[in-house]
Amino acid sequence: MEAKNLTVCRNARLAEHLYLMEFEGAFTPPALPGQFIHIKIDGLFLRRPFSVAGQKNNRLAILYKVVGKGTEILARKKGGETLNAIGPLGKSFPVIKKWKNVYLAGGGTGIAPLIFLADKLSGEDVKITFFYGAKSRGCIGFEILPAGINFVFTTEDGSYGDKGLLDRAVCGFIGKNGRPDVIYGGGPAGLLKKIGRISEDFSVPAFVSLENRMACGTGICYGCVTKIKTGSGWEYMRICKEGPVFNTKDIKWD
Amino acid sequence: MGLNTLGVKIGGLSLNSPVIMMSGIFSYGEVVLDYLDYKKLGAIVTKTVSLEPRKGNPQPRVWEAPSGMLNSIGLQNPGIKAFIKKGLPAVRKNGIRIIVSVTGNSAEEISGIVNLLSAEKIDGIELNLSCPNVNRKELMAAQSPEMTWLLVKAAKKECGRIPLIAKLSPNVTDITAVAAAAEDAGADALSLINTVRGISVDVEKMRIMEGGLSGPAIKPAGLRAVYDVFRKTGVPLIGMGGIASGRDAVEYILAGASAVGVGSGFFSNPFLVDEIYRALGDFLKNNGIKKLSCASGLLNEKEKKQAGQPRRKRKV
Ligand SMILES: Cc1cc2nc3c(=O)[nH]c(=O)nc-3n(C[C@H](O)[C@H](O)[C@H](O)COP(=O)(O)OP(=O)(O)OC[C@H]3O[C@@H](n4cnc5c(N)ncnc54)[C@H](O)[C@@H]3O)c2cc1C
Ligand SMILES: Cc1cc2nc3c(=O)[nH]c(=O)nc-3n(C[C@H](O)[C@H](O)[C@H](O)COP(=O)(O)O)c2cc1C
């Protein structure tokens, strides 16, 4: 992990509330899909965590949604400005060679780490199906979707792809095409919880990226914890350290 | 500036650097951060450990505040026995001086926990009398001079030769009375301040978030506490609260601190330890001061001299 200044080289609005920021200056060691960077934003005390959405050569990308003060400031950043970031942080998605048929299921900005994962896996001999859920057509970031991958879209208002929620699309797809070897997920807790249920119902391993408010980002403050099952019950574990990627069978949902 | 000029003694504990990572800011010291220069840290204080394991508080636990943050971690910890068995060996691997922060609800609990620790190879014990995030309806020990005296006394009886530090709260009418009680009961040093109690209001969700306020917002309160306690006690002070730059640390030293505590400012600025270390060294050099201990409380001493009071010899 490193703490360094990254230079913004592109900051573009891709869709409603959805922004892509590209930086010059990758980390050593390089980030793996599922890991995040912790960005210092001027005027705010706490850093803000963002999943790495892509990394090529000396470039790094994040995808973000404007939800509050910090992301509003980010959206106004111009090319050439710098931001201090700590990264890469947290555990990445586990990838096993024998998993040849993989599903990625992401809602909103939860697709960010999955885009990176899809990009990594697409060079391998792996069949990828990417389920992308959004509020409406205007919220989908078409530009960043990697080529050569089978996409299944759902929108809440039915303006693009199937109308309805993403987990239903995943279930329906499994019904028609059979079980995948693994499911990777990102997005709102409600969706991730349902992915956990699908994992149980179909006996497919599933790994999801969790989010919580964070302070340190590096495992030293215990601010971002979530309930994880242990032999005797459950314990609060750190999303920034033991996660953000967890096996759904270990997560104790509230 | 070499290590010696910045070396300090805190309640019998010799440190190579006056920069201390405070409790709750650095886990138990086992996490390795590649960008941190551990040589510039005099010691680390562990996250507070209790006799029994504690799960800690539910989410949300951290929240942005104007020039700072609120936290409500609730002393999540594995309990003293598990800490001694698993936590301590992991910290020792980092080769850094360890001050173990402990808490307890009664003199018996404090005696028990300090007794268990007294057999361990550690460099200090900090008694956390001031966590705002457990038993919110009850007083914190550090809100009562009597309770403070009782708990410090209980710890002192059991800690043997391990230096004992009492950590005090700013949420009091007169912190100097509590500090005097802690000194009287045998504390070798004092840490001040812990977080300031606060809440944040979420208008959309119509709820509040309770926690302890830290960060630059509380620096004036921390400086005030150190400045006042310096005059009323003779024990060394570890000053903290809102230190976010090297200059902030110099201010604490001038107000009366012998060493400075790095807190939540480290979350913001990963290079804070280096910056403080450099600024303290530069300050001594630029002012022709030989040792950091000669700068501790300079402002205080100046005021006393003007008032015609004698300089008070401080313990180390
Ligand atoms: C490991 C991790 C990876 C993340 N990856 C991405 C990503 O790739 N893209 C993206 O857009 N967002 C991501 N997030 C969420 C992102 O960190 C928050 O949206 C951001 O911190 C909000 O900052 P703000 O100042 O704009 O909002 P604030 O003003 O702080 O808060 C506004 C709203 O955002 C919510 N919020 C604040 N902090 C967080 C947080 N850490 N997690 C979840 N919700 C939060 C609050 O509940 C509130 O409703 C990630 C979070 C984590 C923990
Ligand atoms: C996330 C967090 C956790 C903390 N946990 C503890 C703790 O367990 N014990 C303790 O004595 N102080 C704890 N503190 C208080 C700090 O040690 C310090 O006294 C306080 O944050 C003020 O310093 P600062 O403004 O530099 O952060 C905690 C502070 C924060 C921000």
Which residues on adjacent β-strands are paired with residue A186? A106, A209
Would residue A189 count as lying in a domain?
Answer: yes
Residue B140 to residue B92: CA distance in whole angstroms = 31
Whole-number Å distance, alpha carbon A120 to ligand 2 midpoint, is: 40
In this prediction, residue A124 carries a pLDDT of: 82
> Which residue did the predictor score with more confidence, B17 or B105?
B17
**Among residues of chain B, what percentage have pLDDT more than 90?**
83
Examine the domain organization and report whether A199 and A118 are in the same domain: yes
Would residue A125 count as lying in a domain?
Answer: yes
Determine contact: B255 vs chain A, CB below 8 A.
Answer: no
Q: Which helix H or strand E contains A119, and what residues bound it?
A: helix A112-121
Q: Among A38, A69, A89, where does a domain finish?
A: A89
Examine the domain organization and report whether A60 and A156 are in the same domain: no
Reply yes or no on whether the pLDDT at B50 is more than 60: yes
Q: Is the CB of A112 under 6 A from ligand 1?
A: yes
Q: Is the CB of residue B170 less than 8 Å from the CB of residue B218?
A: yes
HSE-CB for A121 with a 13 A CA cutoff: 28
In this prediction, residue A49 carries a pLDDT of: 98
Examine the domain organization and report whether A77 and A105 are in the same domain: no
| Both structure tokens of B66 | 């104007």
Range of the domain at A137: 101-211
Helix axis angle for B219-232 and B175-184, nearest 10°, is 50
Confidence of residue B139 (pLDDT cuts 50, 70, 90): confident
Q: Is the CB of residue A156 less than 8 Å from the CB of residue A136?
A: yes
Which residues does chain B have within 8 Å of residue A225's beta carbon, measured at their own beta carbons? 56, 59, 61, 76
Determine contact: A241 vs chain B, CB below 8 A.
Answer: yes
Residue B217 to residue B243: CA distance in whole angstroms = 10
Which CATH number goes with the domain that contains A32? Answer: 2.40.30.10
Residue B70 to residue B60: CA distance in whole angstroms = 10
Ligand number nearest CA of B223 is: 2
3-class SS of residue B250: helix
Would residue A221 count as lying in a domain?
Answer: no
**Could A45 and B264 be called an inter-chain contact, meaning their C-beta atoms sit closer than 8 Å?**
yes
Examine the domain organization and report whether A63 and A155 are in the same domain: no
Residue A181 to residue A203: CA distance in whole angstroms = 9
Confidence of residue B1 (pLDDT cuts 50, 70, 90): very low
C-alpha Rg value of chain B to the nearest Å: 18
Confidence of residue B95 (pLDDT cuts 50, 70, 90): confident
Determine contact: A214 vs chain B, CB below 8 A.
Answer: yes
Number of neighbours of residue B7 by Cβ within 10 angstroms:
16
- Catalytic residue status for B131: yes
Examine the domain organization and report whether A78 and A110 are in the same domain: no
Residue A183 to residue A164: CA distance in whole angstroms = 20
Examine the domain organization and report whether A50 and A143 are in the same domain: no
**Among residues of chain B, what percentage have pLDDT more than 70?**
93
Mean pLDDT over all residues of chain A?
95
Among the partner-chain residues B27, B69, B271, the one whose CB lies closest to the CB of A220 is B27
Q: Is the CB of residue B162 less than 8 Å from the CB of residue B122?
A: yes
Examine the domain organization and report whether A74 and A151 are in the same domain: no
| Both structure tokens of B118 | 């007294």
Examine the domain organization and report whether A178 and A125 are in the same domain: yes
Reply yes or no on whether the pLDDT at B130 is more than 90: no
| Both structure tokens of B182 | 């802690």
* Residue A80 CA to its chain's centroid (Å): 26
| Both structure tokens of B50 | 């209790």
Catalytic residue of the set B10, B22, B131, B179:
B131
In this prediction, residue B2 carries a pLDDT of: 47
Q: Among A177, A195, A211, where does a domain finish?
A: A211
Reply yes or no on whether the pLDDT at B113 is more than 60: yes
Residue B116 to residue B316: CA distance in whole angstroms = 26
Reply yes or no on whether the pLDDT at B178 is more than 80: yes
Determine contact: B35 vs chain A, CB below 8 A.
Answer: yes
**Ligand 2 binding pocket mutation candidate from B20, B21, B22, B224 (most atoms within 8 A of CB):** B22
Q: Among A89, A122, A146, where does a domain finish?
A: A89
Confidence of residue B197 (pLDDT cuts 50, 70, 90): very high
Q: What is the pLDDT of residues B297-311, one digit of tens each?
A: 998 877 776 766 655
Torsion of CA B22, B273, B248, B241, to 10 degrees: -10
Examine the domain organization and report whether A123 and A71 are in the same domain: no
Q: Is the CB of A50 under 6 A from ligand 1?
A: yes
Which CATH number goes with the domain that contains A158? Answer: 3.40.50.80
Confidence of residue B141 (pLDDT cuts 50, 70, 90): confident
Domain count, chain A: 2
Would residue A106 count as lying in a domain?
Answer: yes
Residue A254 to residue A209: CA distance in whole angstroms = 16
Whole-number Å distance, alpha carbon B1 to ligand 2 midpoint, is: 29
Would residue A247 count as lying in a domain?
Answer: no
Reply yes or no on whether the pLDDT at B276 is more than 50: yes
Whole-number Å distance, alpha carbon B170 to ligand 2 midpoint, is: 12
Would residue A29 count as lying in a domain?
Answer: yes
| Both structure tokens of A253 | 């949902």
Reply yes or no on whether the pLDDT at B316 is more than 70: no
Atom of ligand 1 at shortest range from CA of A211: 53
Examine the domain organization and report whether A39 and A69 are in the same domain: yes
**Among residues of chain A, what percentage have pLDDT more than 90?**
93
Q: What is the pLDDT of residues A26-74, one digit of tens each?
A: 899 999 999 999 999 999 999 999 999 999 989 999 999 999 999 999 9
Q: Is the CB of A111 under 6 A from ligand 1?
A: no
Residue B23 to residue B191: CA distance in whole angstroms = 10
Q: What is the pLDDT of residues B146-176, one digit of tens each?
A: 999 999 999 999 999 999 999 999 999 999 9
Q: Is the CB of A49 under 6 A from ligand 1?
A: yes
Number of neighbours of residue A119 by Cβ within 10 angstroms:
17
Prediction pTM value: 0.95
Reply yes or no on whether the pLDDT at B69 is more than 80: yes
Would residue A55 count as lying in a domain?
Answer: yes
Alpha-helix runs per DSSP H in chain B:
3-6, 80-82, 88-92, 107-118, 145-158, 175-184, 219-232, 246-255, 265-268, 272-286, 292-295, 298-306
Q: Which helix H or strand E contains A50, and what residues bound it?
A: strand A48-51
What is the ipTM, given to two decimal places?
0.93
Ligand number nearest CA of B101 is: 2
Phi, psi for residue A119 in degrees, rounded to 5: -60, -45
Residue B276 to residue B175: CA distance in whole angstroms = 26
3-state secondary structure string, A158-215?
CCCCEECCHHHHHHHHHHHHCCCCEEEEECCHHHHHHHHHHHHHHCCCEEEECCCCCC
Residues with CB under 6 A from ligand 2: A 215, 221, 223; B 22-25, 47-48, 71, 73, 75, 101, 128, 131, 167, 194-195, 214-215, 218, 240-243, 263-265
In this prediction, residue B311 carries a pLDDT of: 56
Give me the sign of the Cα torsion angle B116, B122, B128, B134.
negative
Reply yes or no on whether the pLDDT at A17 is more than 60: yes
